[in-house]
Amino acid sequence: MSTAALMNQQIRLAARPVGMPKPSDWNVTSEAVRDIADGEIVVKTLYLSLDPAMRGWMNDAKSYIRPVAIGEVMRAGGIGKVIASKSPKFAVGDAVSGGIGVQEYWIGAADDKTAGFYRVDEKVAPLPKYLNALGMPGMTAYFGLLEVGMPKAGETVVVSGAAGAVGQTVGQVAKHKGCRVVGIAGGKDKCDFVVNELGFDACIDYKNESVKDGLKTHCPQGVDIYFDNVGGDILDAVLTRINMKARIIICGAISQYNNTAPVKGPANYLSLLVNRARMEGIVVFDYADRYHIGAAEMATWMKEGTFKTREDIVEGLENFPDALLMLFEGRNFGKLILQVAKE
Ligand SMILES: NC(=O)c1ccc[n+]([C@@H]2O[C@H](COP(=O)([O-])OP(=O)(O)OC[C@H]3O[C@@H](n4cnc5c(N)ncnc54)[C@H](OP(=O)(O)O)[C@@H]3O)[C@@H](O)[C@H]2O)c1
């Protein structure tokens, strides 16, 4: 297809946010899709992954990845279709996953390391699933739980952000490994979903009940593994209930990402000492060479009908600034995805 007449709408970082991002922290720009040279491709964006980590990438701070520069197209993983190719690596029509950015088209070398495009198979699973359990959040949950948590059958696993992208997978992988699973989520609907649809044993609605009391009720044998997605007061509450040799996986701390005050660390950390327990961070990219193993196991469970995923899809590139806030306000119900164009 000719890309000559195409315009590429993009969302760029205009300012570093203080607290919750504001509309004025973004610029919407538009430029023509340029002709491609040998070895290059054009990818048309279909779906973008909206992730809590995006908030961290907007800060000018040292992290596991460099910050997005002011004026740069906002970083985002996504799924798209190759619509022009001068590379033997991808053919027109291929569905690909990679670092597309918040824009309608990605143009560049097919083997660009930063974008890291790889083919995904629509016949194995619908494309949005590749941004959920079969993509980055799923790999975070799978390798974080199995490699850092090292669950054994019969152990009690607690996971916060339970109805979200990472949380829903953590709980289901833990159930597959024979654990008792207790979720923590905001609101009755999310709690009902993880228990009734995903098969968690119980869920604590932290917005309407005491997490400490809920843990006493639902974890009578204590907590062996805590998969922490939220940090803050919930981490502190779980620390009071851990068992000897417990493992705490520090995956994220979304309750802290928009704080203008310094990050609040756990006050109850001496529980680690008393219980000879371990707290360890995880960064998903460390497992990239084994994603295919996690994806294959979860795809098999999906086919068997013993593993479900839920996506929350918002339409329209222009809705990116507000959609991102859904994550921090608990307005997403499942993996948050921005649909930029129809398949
Ligand atoms: N380390 C890694 O490699 C890695 C990779 C991916 C993700 N992560 C982290 O994993 C966590 C979950 O990410 P996700 O993509 O799966 O997001 P998600 O759970 O799908 O969405 C975020 C959820 O966080 C909850 N939340 C927001 N503010 C909160 C607060 N103040 N206290 C408690 N809960 C709050 C909300 O759920 P409720 O309605 O239940 O409050 C919201 O729906 C994040 O911390 C993210 O940074 C880490």
Which residue type does 97 have?
S
- Whether domain 136-285 has CATH 3.40.50.720: the reply is yes
14 vs 32: CA distance, rounded Å: 20
User: Residue 294 is which amino acid?
Assistant: G
- Pocket flag, ligand 1, residue 67 (CB < 6 Å): no
Mean pLDDT computed over 188-196: 98
The predicted structure's pLDDT at residue 101: 98
Q: Which atom of ligand 1 is nearest to the CA of 168?
A: 16
Residue 263 Cα to ligand 1 midpoint, Å, equals 16
Tell me the pLDDT band of 1, cut-offs 50, 70 and 90: low
pLDDT tens digits, 306-322? 999 999 999 999 999 99
Closest residue to atom 45 of ligand 1, CA basis? 252
Give CA–CA dist 240/222, Å, rounded.
9
Give the tokens for residue 132.
């959920």
Instruction: Write the pLDDT tens digit of every residue in 139-181.
Output: 999 999 999 999 999 999 999 999 999 999 999 999 999 999 9
Is residue 180 within 8 Å of residue 155, measured between CB atoms? yes
Mean confidence (pLDDT) of the chain: 97
**Quick check: CB of 132 below 6 Å from ligand 1?**
no
Residue 33, sorted as left (phi over 0), alpha (psi -120 to 50) or beta, turns out to be: beta
pTM above 0.95, yes or no: yes
CATH homologous superfamily of domain 7-132+310-339? Medium-chain alcohol dehydrogenases, catalytic domain (3.90.180.10)
Confidence of residue 264 (pLDDT cuts 50, 70, 90): confident
Q: How many CB atoms lie within 10 A of CB 83?
A: 18
Residue 298 CA to residue 176 CA, distance in Å, equals: 10
Q: Which pLDDT score, from 0 to 100, does residue 132 have? A: 98
pLDDT computed for residue 56 by the predictor: 96
| Residue of the CA atom closest to atom 27 of ligand 1 | 328
Atom of ligand 1 at shortest distance to CA of 255? Answer: 31
Q: Which of the listed residues 136, 143, 166 should we mutate to test ligand 1's pocket, taking the one with most ligand atoms within 8 A of CB? A: 166
Q: Is the pLDDT of residue 208 over 70?
A: yes
Spans of all domains in the chain: 7-132+310-339, 136-285
Q: Which atom of ligand 1 is nearest to the CA of 334?
A: 20
Please, what is the Cα angle at 135 between 132 and 80, to 5 degrees? 90
Q: Work out the average pLDDT over 228-250.
A: 98
Predicted pLDDT of residue 4: 76
Distance 52 CA to ligand 1 centre (A): 6
> Is residue 130 over pLDDT 70?
yes
**DSSP-assigned letter for residue 15:** S
- In terms of DSSP bridges, do strands 40-49 and 335-339 run parallel, antiparallel, or are they unpaired? antiparallel
Assign 3 a pLDDT band (cuts: 50, 70, 90). Answer: confident
Phi, psi (degrees; rounded to nearest 5) at 87: -130, 140
Is the distance from CB of 193 to CB of 310 less than 8 angstroms?
yes
- At 99 the pLDDT is 97
Residue range 97-113, pLDDT digits in tens: 999 999 999 999 999 99
Tell the residue nearest (CA) to atom 44 of ligand 1. 252
**Residue ID of nearest Cα to ligand 1 atom 18:** 164
Asked if residues 229 and 251 have their Cβ atoms less than 8 Å apart, the reply is yes
C-beta 231 within 6 A of ligand 1: no
Measure the CA–CA gap between 178 and 304, rounded to whole angstroms. 17
How far does residue 160's CA lie from ligand 1's centre (Å)? 8
328 lines ligand 1 (CB under 6 A): yes
